[in-house]
Amino acid sequence: MPPRFGNFPPQRPRTPPGPSAESRRLAEGFALHQRGDLAGAKAGYEAVIRAEPRNAQALALRGVIGIQTGDPAGATEWLTRSLAVDPRQPQTLSNRATAWLALGRWQEALADCDAALRHQPDFPEAHSNRASALLHLGDAGAALDSCTRALQMRPGFSDALRIQAQAHLRLGQADAALAIYDRLLAAHADDVAAQIGRGDVLLKLDRNAEAVAAYDLALARRPADASVWSNRGAALRALQDLAGAVASFDRAIALQPDYAEAWSNRGVALRELKRQAESLASLERALALRPDFADAHYNAGIALLELGRAGEAQARFDEALRLQPLYHEAQYNRGIALMEQMKLREALAGFDRALALEADYAPAHWNKAVLLLLTGDFAAGWPLYEWRWRNEKLGLKPRDLAAPRWDGSQPLAGRVVLLHAEQGLGDTLQFCRYAELVSARGAEVILEVPRPLHAILQGLAGVTRLMVRGEPVPSVDFHSPLLSLPLAFRTDAGSIPAPRRYLAAPPAKRAEWERLLGSGKRRRAGIVWSGSTHHQGDRYRSIGLAQLLPHLPGGWEFVSLQKEVRPTDAAVLAAHPEIRPLGAEFDDFTDTAAVIELLDVVISVDTSVAHLSGALGQRTWTLLPSNPDWRWLLGRDDTPWYPTMKLYRQATPGDWTAPLARIGSELARLAAELERRET
């Protein structure tokens, strides 16, 4: 809340009959003061003070000049000298409270207001200043009471109304605050402070477009207000106008280069623009200005996480927690940093500490589930995995269906069950296997999937009807998201349904691709080196084609199954015509599946193609980062989900040398082994 500079000038100086020269000079100074000639008034008051150093009125008026000219520290000195002469001056006490407020000395302001009100209980300005001090001291309820007293004495008192609105906002009564600002603006459309306050309330209410409009009206009259530019940036960021937000923060910083909050918020917007290095630099600037800024430490930690610098991120979260021990988001993200360093026991403790601070914090529940599943604790992990529906960061929304969720306990004989995909294509390919288990309980199974998977899932065991997501849902008795089925079936490491293969390419597609590929003397291997750039962990799982090529031995024909090729990889691919780029020719997953069935081995990073190859029962070699997705578990070269899949794990974060070298040597051995079998 900005400091108030009101409640002056005080009452006209008393001039007895036949005034002295000093009394006339004081009256002349006051007349200049009323006309706005502050320099003339100041000179007049100081002349009186030189002649009469204990003239309480001249000292008090000189103090008012200090407040009006932006010198609250000097003002307190003049006002204190006046009160030393005559301590029973309620107006002077209130004016000194105004100066204390400007200096951020809330207790001194409160004491002066209380003293003024002892002398003059019906003093609305003192009640208003008292409310401002109480609000800064964190007692919004008492501030509201003081505002009520001020407004009883002076209805429509603008200063008191503004503080009343801020007190309502602090108490979580945003609608009441907005009504006050609307009342102020109805009476005084040019009240810039009220317009700014209205913008702040709208920002709090998440009515961000209206907040921007309010700030724009305020800036038309007060274009040099850095705080308004900064708050406008916050509203634009909430509207996902990130470029506009950065521009607003830049304006705030240009006006006030030491504005730590603007630097910090700018850093957050830059991070959301995927400009992490610039984001970190902006946050570091905020911390240089204000080393005890817990939020800036926290946001720097997030930027460092996204730059893959988990150890440094952990240190930032530690500092945020030192400054603000109850910061549950920092505790949670510290757990993420530990998890990325594979310090799993410490990460689990971090998630538990976050939940001790905020029991319903969905991201901590969900990431605890992921950690438990990664370590093979399915009994504890599957129930917690249901927190994904409450984790807004995942963007998942539960289906609004009339039928109840099937949780594994309800009988299914003769019932119709809708199973629906919920996450990525790889997740759907992995968990669609549960349709057969649901069918085995006597249910008629309808499976709803994304369109790209519709053709390849035709004929999936246990499915009566296959639907594309978005088609009208028929009447069903129960429904279940695919990734809730392991919980419903109480799946543990020993009961994972893992047929050698549960998908197949359409025979006609296989025959067509067999003709197109032709016969060849060399063995064929399919390669996939990168996934979608939109995947949250893509920087860990994807490899550049140039990094993979040196490890591919001779004697093989390599086929690219990569549907989307990044520009840097496209240039490398074009320079290596010995690699057949078939991915661009695939219409859907049935084409990918048909080609996979014609290969000797598929080598893939953790993408949907790896899942497809495993579901087809093909020999599949999957490259995994040192911090793998939960489904691959830890410390094993095989996976209970796909009997024909082998895992090649990084030992050191970011270093693919060892697993790629292993694949190269094993490709050579596989070629020799297949040759022996045929001869």
Residue 12: is its pLDDT beyond 60? Answer: no
**In CATH, which of 3.40.640.10, 1.10.150.20, 1.25.40.10, 1.20.1250.20 is domain 1-120?**
1.25.40.10
Residue 503: is its pLDDT beyond 80? Answer: yes
Phi-psi domain of 654 (left: phi exceeds 0; alpha: psi -120 through 50; beta: other): left
pLDDT tens for each residue of 425-435:
999 999 999 99
Residue 1: is its pLDDT beyond 60? Answer: no
State residue 34's pLDDT score.
87
Residue 17: is its pLDDT beyond 50? Answer: no
Q: Confirm if 378 and 488 have CB atoms less than 8 A apart.
A: no
Q: Which residue has the higher pLDDT, 15 or 532?
A: 532
pLDDT tens for each residue of 359-378:
999 999 999 999 999 999 99
Which tokens sit at 365?
């529940």
Mean pLDDT of 545-569: 93
State residue 130's pLDDT score.
96
Instruction: Count how many residues are written for the chain.
Output: 679
> Please, what CATH class does the domain formed by 507-678 belong to?
alpha beta
Beta strands in 352-485 (DSSP E): 416-420, 444-449, 465-468, 478-481
CB hemisphere CA count around 374 (13 angstroms): 20
Query: 258 falls in which pLDDT band (50, 70, 90)?
Result: very high
**In CATH, which of 1.25.40.10, 1.10.730.10, 3.40.190.80, 3.30.360.10 is domain 292-391?**
1.25.40.10
Q: Do domains 1-120 and 507-678 have the same CATH topology?
A: no
In angstroms, how far is CA 573 from the centroid of its own chain? 37
Q: What are phi and psi of 448, to 5 degrees?
A: -110, 125
Cβ-proximal residues to 102 (8 Å cutoff; 6+ apart), any chain: 3, 4, 5, 67, 72
State residue 19's pLDDT score.
59
- Mean pLDDT across the chain, nearest whole number? 93
pLDDT tens for each residue of 605-642:
999 999 999 999 999 999 999 999 999 999 999 999 99
Which tokens sit at 180?
């006050």
Which tokens sit at 436?
């057969």
Residue 334: is its pLDDT beyond 90? Answer: yes
Mean pLDDT of 338-347: 96
State residue 13's pLDDT score.
54
Q: What are phi and psi of 142, to 5 degrees?
A: -65, -35
State residue 14's pLDDT score.
55
Query: 2 falls in which pLDDT band (50, 70, 90)?
Result: very low
Mean pLDDT of 314-330: 97
Query: 5 falls in which pLDDT band (50, 70, 90)?
Result: very low
Which residue, among 423, 428, 465, 422, has the nearest Cα to 443 in the 3D structure? Answer: 465
Sequence ranges of the domains in the chain? 1-120, 292-391, 416-488, 507-678
State residue 4's pLDDT score.
37
Q: What is this structure's pTM?
A: 0.82
3-state DSSP percent of the chain in helix, strand and coil, to 5: 60, 5, 35
Q: Confirm if 432 and 483 have CB atoms less than 8 A apart.
A: no
Mean pLDDT of 123-150: 93
Rg of the chain on CA atoms, in Å? 35
Peptide bond into 659 cis (omega under 30): no
State residue 109's pLDDT score.
95
Residue 358: is its pLDDT beyond 90? Answer: yes
State residue 237's pLDDT score.
97
